[in-house]
Amino acid sequence: MADSELVALRAADVSLVLDVAGPRLPRVLHWGADLGETDPELLRHLLAAQEAGGNALPPSAPLLPTQFDRWPGRPGVSGHRDGGPGHLRLTLAAPVSVVAGPDGGGTLAAVSQDETAGITVRTELQLTPQGLVRMRHAVTNTAPGTWQLDSLLCLLPVPAQAAELLDFTGRWSRERVPQRSAFGEQTIAHESRRGRTGFGAPPLFTVGTPGFGFGHGEVWGVHVGWSGDHQHLAQRLPERDAVLGGGELLGSGEIRLARDETYETPWAYFAYSPSGLDGLSAAVHGWLRARPSHPATPRPVTLNTWEAVYFDHDLAKLTALARTAAELGVERFVLDDGWFLGRRDDHAGLGDWYVDPQVWPDGLHPLVDEVRRLGMQFGLWVEPEMVNPDSRLAREHPDWVLAAPGRLPEEQRWQHVLDVARPEVFAYLLERLDALVGEYRPAYLKWDHNRDLVEAVHDGGAGVHAQTVAVYRLLDALRARHPGLEIESCSSGGSRVDLGVLARTDRVWGSDNNDALERQHIQRWTGLLLPPELVGCHVGPPVSHTNGRATSLAFRCLTALFGHAGIEWDVTGCTDAERAELSAWIGAYRRLRGLLHTGRTVRADHPDPSAFVYGVVAADRGHAVFAYAQLTAGTRDGATRLRLPGLDPSARYRLTLLPELPGPHLHGRPWHPDLTLTGAALAAHGLLAPPLRPTESYALELHRV
């Protein structure tokens, strides 16, 4: 609904109401629970609540608040012209444009300006049919001289009941670790200055009613879709509604706009749910799946060779590995690090993207041909943005490193970062990647990125922004030349997981850590943002190479089932029993991936923190699969009660153990819960199940009867 002053958009249990009367930028009067069909009286009531008298401030600030709007918090936009005053006074340059979406929601576009300062801002805000709000701004210098942009944020208001915050921390092989805190009258910022998304970057930076969980509580979340330096922000002031938002984190002097030049923020994605974190996931997952670029074919079972052979590339060994993989049911075979010039370990070779003739005298063709003969797709590992000092490229072009002249950053992993924004570097990388893809026709590239950007300097100034934009252009250019090519975003595992890179790639590598116990945590919180089909989840060897923990094959298989499944293991050394178990698990994945990769992800608020209960429920709620994973010793002895959310309360479901995976035992005998119960009973009372020991698990399949 819209009139001359107010706009009300609705989609998927979310309402967004804005005051667009001007002369300043629109103000959000409500973002949150669906208000139903908004009639004029309700809209007038929302507007009246903003018209405080006396010295009081209206609760909501404009979409881009500044001191001109009496906003005492962090400004939505800041910058200056040649060190002069940077305070902008933005007013609308034209009436706000609103276009309703055919399936709900709609798009709002506003152009504001400060004629005296010579600045124009274009603001775009969308409410998608899935209930997701997307926002971005673009600032243009319209006057002579240079205007330096310091910060440009996307912000939305959140109400007083949002009094608890969920943020994340993390490190290599332990990505996305949740941490909660009270959200009072304060500013809480999560900043990443790594030059990439980061191991602890929040999938969704979330505020909500105290104690919110996966299935309960009002929650509001934001994600900045950017793969360089970025910030997420929650701020509450005594005089105003709190705000939630974020944007790119700019270095000093990084964006200097000459006349008629424009800077555009990355998209910021905002989600609201009246019923917990699973509702946020449903909005983001639904939007991702509706994209034209979302993977449309079944996600193939992948074997990646890294933990099978590391740098020891031998045609006979790899051929045997491929044959065993094909016998198990693997559908994609990926040759990892070690195939290019001088690459016998990680000290040398990065940048020299030519097949090493000493290891591969006939090129990769003998292996590629055998992989295809076996009925599998071929994939290849690359790390285009990096260079080893011990490489032909570094010796011939030392000035191609992303650094100030004569001031190389400290090495990490015996490598530096290439300045992809330099035209000659971009051209070299595109030519090499295009040639490799053209010659070997891989279906898939595992695109790695194994160090932070440190002291990144491009063209004499801060270089992270230019580097990120150039990498995006490189991915876009390669995909344009090879439209069927799929690319995985890997960055020391899970350090480049964001919706910016996923606009150009087909999945992420959740973590270098294949230990199933750690992976349970990592995948749980990665799934807050991403649906299962976008997260690579592999079965590793019995003993994890990252932390030395031993876990059963059954636990490793169940953990890898709920994602884009694969193997990272030398399966030529498996016993007959292990091969049979792997083959059965692959069969289960191939049978269930139509459900796993289209259904709704649900996570039970299980009362025992030592165990996870989670699953995927089909869109029509007629079919579901759930996992029960005991992580550590339980808090109590005896049977446990598993409550299964997300089902149709009025329907009856037949429960069985997933036949392809081992099941639990009760009193020394196999347990078979062949039961038929209603969705309401399963959600409220649950299923009485046998206790498990640490790192034991099983899966249940449910069919509506």
Rg over alpha carbons for the chain, rounded to the nearest Å, is 26
Q: Please list the residues that pair with 180 across neighbouring strands.
A: 166
Q: How far is CA 528 from the centre of its chain?
A: 8
Catalytic position from the list 19, 167, 352, 512 = 512
Question: Contact, 562 vs 526, CB < 8 A?
Answer: no
From 241, 448, 452, 515, the catalytic residue: 448
Give me the phi and psi of 590, to 5 degrees please: -65, -35
> Distance between CA 475 and CA 182 in Å, rounded?
40
Backbone phi and psi for residue 511, each to the nearest 5 degrees, phi listed first? -170, 150
**Short-list 13, 14, 11, CA closest to 30:** 14
Phi, psi of 165 (to 5 degrees): -120, 140
Look up 620 and say whether it is catalytic. no
**If DSSP codes are grouped into helix, strand and coil, which group holds residue 303?**
strand
Q: Tell me the CA end-to-end span of the chain in Å, nearest whole number.
A: 42
| Amino acid, res. 246 | G
Residues 6 or more apart whose CB falls under 8 angstroms from that of 702 comprise 623, 624, 625, 626, 644, 647, 653, 654, 655
CA distance to 167, 392, 531, 546, per residue, from 281 (Å): 16, 46, 8, 29
553 vs 541, 559, 582, 589, 664, CA distance in Å? 8, 10, 8, 15, 14
Asked if residues 540 and 307 have their Cβ atoms less than 8 Å apart, the reply is yes
366: three-class secondary structure by DSSP? helix
Is residue 494 within 8 Å of residue 177, measured between CB atoms?
A: no
DSSP H or E run through 603: strand 600-603
> CB 309: neighbour CB atoms within 10 A?
17
- Give me the amino acid identity at 542: P
Given the structure tokens 């030059």, which residue do they identify?
195
- Residue 510 contacts residue 502 (beta carbons within 8 Å): no
Residue 111 neighbours by CB under 8 Å, 6+ apart: 92, 93, 94, 120, 121, 122, 123
- Distance (Å, rounded) from C-alpha 66 to C-alpha 87? 7
Nearest alpha-carbon partner for 447 in 508, 501, 488: 488
User: Does 390 participate in catalysis according to the annotation?
Assistant: no
Peptide bond into 23 cis (omega under 30): yes
Structure tokens at 598: 């289209």
Are residues 420 and 429 in contact, defined by beta-carbon separation less than 8 angstroms? yes
Contact predicate 508/496, CB 8 Å: yes
Q: CA-to-CA distance for 492 and 22, rounded, in angstroms?
A: 48
Give residue for tokens 């196999």: 670
Catalogue the active-site residues: 448, 512
